[in-house]
A and B are shown apart, each in its own frame.
Chain A
């Protein structure tokens, strides 16, 4: 096995594009090493991106935030300004695994692992985050929801890697939240996850909303009907009930060892309602 740890993004792209056999990106390694341990991955090349300075940085850009692909969830949690703008995204990243895992894992890795149950992805999708992709043909930015195509599959082309995630600027009176359901309290995989991001006007009415569900379809799904149920309301009981119903309606889960389809459909609504209440409160809305 060949291990490479370049110090520039260009060098990383060159290695990735020129690698023979199976080349895997190593950031936190919290998915890759587990796969290698359990014989689910036997890469010919491991490409470590942690020595690329730009990929290790959190920086402000156009009023939003650019988060390098090798930034850990814990580092996001330590950035108070980022937490103030995007508490839901940061809390989602800091639900991954356990405290130890959060010291290593990255949201770009979480996205590229392409698990439908990835904790940070519904929050990123609700946030309208963009993934910056570097490859032999240069740089391109795409919505994060366009990266995973199905369990374990991404839309990245040969030689491409996610270099950073961009979270857009926040209007006044905005809030986001992420909730997931697991049978335990930590170290578990979401049975259902839900990210909600919304913006209120001065009178407390919802002017924009985005709701995303995890673990209820092969990829994280956006539920426009759920957002529509909130927009134009004060996110009151009636709106929340309609939104929850829209989420349950949109959920198309399977039965598996982590939960039944029936249970997931039910929980999609329960979690969406609870997440929306938190997002509303964070946006400064009345209880």
Chain B
């Protein structure tokens, strides 16, 4: 039977690669789609959180009596209301972030919550809660937080390899690389040493976190929420609430953006605690201000680079020391930053050292290629500056040093077939590269890399009695995965796309699915979908064989039908999926295929970005004139969505590069918790983001698919910095490149 042969991207695709209608389009434009805040339940209460006004304070006592006495208040919870259960360090941090214990660690840290009959009563109740704080000194900037005498957030959280004498806020150290840096630098004609800084930026999803929790007196609980991973929510909340995982059923709503920020929980355990205490369903919806103050932005960073280059553009050594603060708890993405910094290059001598640092800011959450954009900003800026200083073409220099199949990456792996070189060559041949530039305009390029994940995945594919198909998967659709799964199932089964509907299951309906992260879904869930479809095909071939009275091995599945094959199969009319489905009851019962895997073989993805900017020399304002993304998608299952991912990453990168930043006052209070002063780009700030999809098949996937969602945010910071530096005539090494900062750089040269 030929069903299991890997197609290695050589299949003559009928559905994959087309631009079919998205299944959620009508729902979303008509408002029918149900997001986190769209669910209600009879007797539902409104939950609200009281948050710390201090950046760092000891919580001496909390008096909730007046709030509890207010008419319409059915429950007030503090940390004391959470069960005393054994938690691993990471889950304890999540709980402590959702509801502060002994200390409030940042402005906006939750300290208490109420459930009341209405929002106005809930708000009144919050004002009646008396918290006795003892304010403590705080620290915000990463370099300040590392100092030995900086105010310490925690005791005893340093891992063993942090050298003695480092400040208590330095909690972990990472190191990667090979070769001899000093020897490599010695062979260089020019060595560059620079420090680069980036600010914390928020994922900026449009939909604030929202959930509806219901805990029954029988110990069964249901949770509806907006998340990138209902299984993660289940496992985390079950641990915190002392529930077994099977007792808590979590259903993911439609999601209005996540970008990594919804790979953890913020309000869900609180809603469960309030529901448990009140005996009523409790709905919680964060305000935008709460989202910015208390959910995860990414880390801010400070990075030192040492880079050596020969006169002809050979990089002789690359060293990076990366310092990331990830907010009030360990876990900044500095490890990914350290691993990815030099990943695009084939280097003999390379080393990165990463420091994970805590500071009095909200606990960071994953943000699209966590940790990689800042590292790429530093490395790609340094390469650009050295190349230009030596009079070399920055694309040629990158081509000369580019990682290829067989290259040993700085983080240890040896690459299979990869697409970096293809993106660089395509960029070089693109009309954008040679288009003329005007006065005060500049062009920049940069490369970027992301690992891509696989992971635990379950898919069930059901053939319905009328001959259509349901694919059931367990990963919220944040980038078009329902369309992609339906397409891969249709491709495999040989049926039209319109006959397949993919739905997202709750946690009780499938086995474990890892979070929708790491650009894993189209790859891993796609793999499981293909395997589930192949299992269903095997079953359908078996049923046809039974009807025809021949061996199973004498039946093949081609063009959407079972067909006799081989010399002894005899002559039988093909049986389509619908034919077999119609008589399934008589041939052994319903037909389904399923797949439960821990997917491996996610191919890494590379991109090259090219951007033109114009700088107003009088104001320092930067205008993005033209932007082109060149990225390897392995195989673009649905090109519209792939282009959307390329564009979305570029735009988030533009925001990060130009205007987005967490702004703190001297008091450690966040000054811009709203979209007015936390400036994501608006449509009028942007040109059309052009995209070029390259398809270098991933050998680890039957159709060659690679994840595409994250790589696109890795190059923009550096590409824009390189472009602005060229336009302004001065090297920009600190983000955001806001107008005052650019003007200052121009004025001081």
Question: Which of A's residues lie within 8 Å of B, judged by CB?
Answer: 38-39, 98, 181, 183-189, 191, 257-260, 262-263, 266-267, 270
Partner of B684, one of A183, A186, A259, A260: A186
Q: Say yes or no: A267-B619 contact (C-beta < 8 A), given A183-B659, A183-B738, A257-B671.
A: yes
A181, B619: Cα distance in complex, Å = 8
Q: Are A187 and B659 in contact (CB under 8 A)?
A: no
Q: Are A184 and B682 in contact (CB under 8 A)?
A: yes
Q: Are B618 and A270 in contact (CB under 8 A)?
A: yes
In the assembled complex, the CB of A264 is this many whole angstroms from the nearest CB of chain B, namely 9
Q: Are A263 and B685 in contact (CB under 8 A)?
A: no
Q: Say yes or no: A39-B123 contact (C-beta < 8 A), given A183-B659, A257-B663, A263-B739.
A: yes
A266, B744: Cα distance in complex, Å = 11
B2: interface (CB < 8 Å): no
Q: Say yes or no: A259-B740 contact (C-beta < 8 A), given A184-B685, A185-B682, A185-B685.
A: yes
Q: Are A270 and B619 in contact (CB under 8 A)?
A: yes
Chain B residues with CB under 8 Å of A181's CB are 619, 621, 739
Q: Are A38 and B289 in contact (CB under 8 A)?
A: yes
Chain A residues with CB under 8 Å of B682's CB are 98, 184-187
Q: Are B739 and A183 in contact (CB under 8 A)?
A: yes
In the assembled complex, the CB of A276 is this many whole angstroms from the nearest CB of chain B, namely 14
A188, B684: Cα distance in complex, Å = 12
Interface residues on B, range: 20 to 34
In the assembled complex, the CB of A134 is this many whole angstroms from the nearest CB of chain B, namely 32
A281, B645: Cα distance in complex, Å = 45
Q: Are B679 and A263 in contact (CB under 8 A)?
A: no
B23: interface (CB < 8 Å): no
Chain B residues with CB under 8 Å of A98's CB are 682
Q: Are B677 and A258 in contact (CB under 8 A)?
A: yes
Contacting residues of chain B (693-749) with chain A, CB-CB under 8 angstroms = 738-740, 743
In the assembled complex, the CB of A97 is this many whole angstroms from the nearest CB of chain B, namely 10
Q: Are B659 and A184 in contact (CB under 8 A)?
A: yes
B676: interface (CB < 8 Å): yes
Q: Say yes or no: A188-B676 contact (C-beta < 8 A), given A183-B739, A257-B671, A263-B743.
A: yes
19 interchain pairs, CB-CB under 8 A: A38-B287, A98-B682, A181-B619, A183-B679, A183-B738, A183-B739, A184-B682, A185-B682, A188-B676, A188-B679, A191-B739, A257-B672, A259-B740, A260-B740, A262-B740, A263-B739, A263-B740, A263-B743, A267-B619
Chain B residues with CB under 8 Å of A188's CB are 676, 679
Q: Are B684 and A185 in contact (CB under 8 A)?
A: yes
A98, B663: Cα distance in complex, Å = 24
Chain A residues with CB under 8 Å of B658's CB are 183
Q: Are A189 and B676 in contact (CB under 8 A)?
A: yes
A187, B681: Cα distance in complex, Å = 10
Lowest 8 A-B CB distances belong to which pairs?
A263-B740, A185-B684, A257-B671, A257-B663, A270-B618, A183-B659, A185-B685, A186-B684
A184, B623: Cα distance in complex, Å = 9
Q: Are A257 and B289 in contact (CB under 8 A)?
A: no
In the assembled complex, the CB of B686 is this many whole angstroms from the nearest CB of chain A, namely 9
In the assembled complex, the CB of A51 is this many whole angstroms from the nearest CB of chain B, namely 27
Question: Interface of chain A, helix or strand or loop or mixed?
Answer: loop
In the assembled complex, the CB of A192 is this many whole angstroms from the nearest CB of chain B, namely 10
In the assembled complex, the CB of B748 is this many whole angstroms from the nearest CB of chain A, namely 12
In the assembled complex, the CB of B614 is this many whole angstroms from the nearest CB of chain A, namely 13
Chain A residues with CB under 8 Å of B740's CB are 259-260, 262-263
A260, B659: Cα distance in complex, Å = 15
Partner of B621, one of A183, A186, A257, A258: A183
In the assembled complex, the CB of A107 is this many whole angstroms from the nearest CB of chain B, namely 20
Q: Which residue of B lies closest to A191 (CB)?
A: B739
Q: A260-B740, A262-B740 are in contact. List 6 more A-B contacts (CB 8 A).
A: A184-B659, A184-B681, A184-B684, A185-B682, A185-B684, A186-B682
Q: Which residue of B lies closest to A183 (CB)?
A: B659
A210, B514: Cα distance in complex, Å = 65
- Chain B 601-617 interface mask (CB, 8 Å, partner A; 1/0): 00000000000000000
Q: Are B679 and A266 in contact (CB under 8 A)?
A: no
A186, B677: Cα distance in complex, Å = 12
Q: Which residue of B lies closest to A269 (CB)?
A: B618
Chain A residues with CB under 8 Å of B619's CB are 181, 267, 270
Q: Which residue of A lies closest to B686 (CB)?
A: A185
In the assembled complex, the CB of A155 is this many whole angstroms from the nearest CB of chain B, namely 27
Chain A residues with CB under 8 Å of B618's CB are 270
Chain A residues with CB under 8 Å of B672's CB are 257
A184, B679: Cα distance in complex, Å = 8
In the assembled complex, the CB of B683 is this many whole angstroms from the nearest CB of chain A, namely 9
Q: Which residue of B lies closest to A274 (CB)?
A: B618
In the assembled complex, the CB of A137 is this many whole angstroms from the nearest CB of chain B, namely 36
In the assembled complex, the CB of B258 is this many whole angstroms from the nearest CB of chain A, namely 23
A98, B684: Cα distance in complex, Å = 11
Chain A residues with CB under 8 Å of B671's CB are 257
Chain A residues with CB under 8 Å of B674's CB are 38
Chain A residues with CB under 8 Å of B289's CB are 38
A177, B621: Cα distance in complex, Å = 21
In the assembled complex, the CB of B46 is this many whole angstroms from the nearest CB of chain A, namely 14
In the assembled complex, the CB of A42 is this many whole angstroms from the nearest CB of chain B, namely 9
A163, B193: Cα distance in complex, Å = 63
Contacting residues of chain B (94-153) with chain A, CB-CB under 8 angstroms = 123
Q: Which residue of A lies closest to B678 (CB)?
A: A257
In the assembled complex, the CB of A256 is this many whole angstroms from the nearest CB of chain B, namely 8
Max count, chain B CB within 10 A of own CB: residue among A38, A181, A183, A191: A183
Contacting residues of chain B (608-657) with chain A, CB-CB under 8 angstroms = 618-619, 621
Q: Which residue of A lies closest to B672 (CB)?
A: A257
A98, B659: Cα distance in complex, Å = 19
Q: Which residue of A lies closest to B623 (CB)?
A: A185
A186, B287: Cα distance in complex, Å = 23
Chain A residues with CB under 8 Å of B743's CB are 263, 266
Q: Are B677 and A257 in contact (CB under 8 A)?
A: yes
A126, B47: Cα distance in complex, Å = 49
Q: Which residue of B lies closest to A260 (CB)?
A: B740
A189, B672: Cα distance in complex, Å = 13
Chain B residues with CB under 8 Å of A267's CB are 619
A257, B743: Cα distance in complex, Å = 17
A266, B747: Cα distance in complex, Å = 11
A186, B679: Cα distance in complex, Å = 11
Chain A residues with CB under 8 Å of B287's CB are 38
Chain A residues with CB under 8 Å of B659's CB are 183-184
A259, B618: Cα distance in complex, Å = 15
A267, B740: Cα distance in complex, Å = 10
Chain A residues with CB under 8 Å of B739's CB are 181, 183, 191, 263
A239, B218: Cα distance in complex, Å = 82
Q: Which residue of A lies closest to B618 (CB)?
A: A270
A188, B676: Cα distance in complex, Å = 6
A181, B658: Cα distance in complex, Å = 15
A258, B678: Cα distance in complex, Å = 10
Q: Which residue of B lies closest to A99 (CB)?
A: B684
A270, B671: Cα distance in complex, Å = 27
A181, B133: Cα distance in complex, Å = 41
A188, B674: Cα distance in complex, Å = 12
A257, B678: Cα distance in complex, Å = 10
In the assembled complex, the CB of A124 is this many whole angstroms from the nearest CB of chain B, namely 23
In the assembled complex, the CB of B291 is this many whole angstroms from the nearest CB of chain A, namely 13
Max count, chain A CB within 10 A of own CB: residue among B621, B663, B676, B740: B740
A39, B673: Cα distance in complex, Å = 14
- Chain B 573-593 interface mask (CB, 8 Å, partner A; 1/0): 000000000000000000000
A260, B677: Cα distance in complex, Å = 14
Q: Which residue of A lies closest to B127 (CB)?
A: A39
In the assembled complex, the CB of B745 is this many whole angstroms from the nearest CB of chain A, namely 12
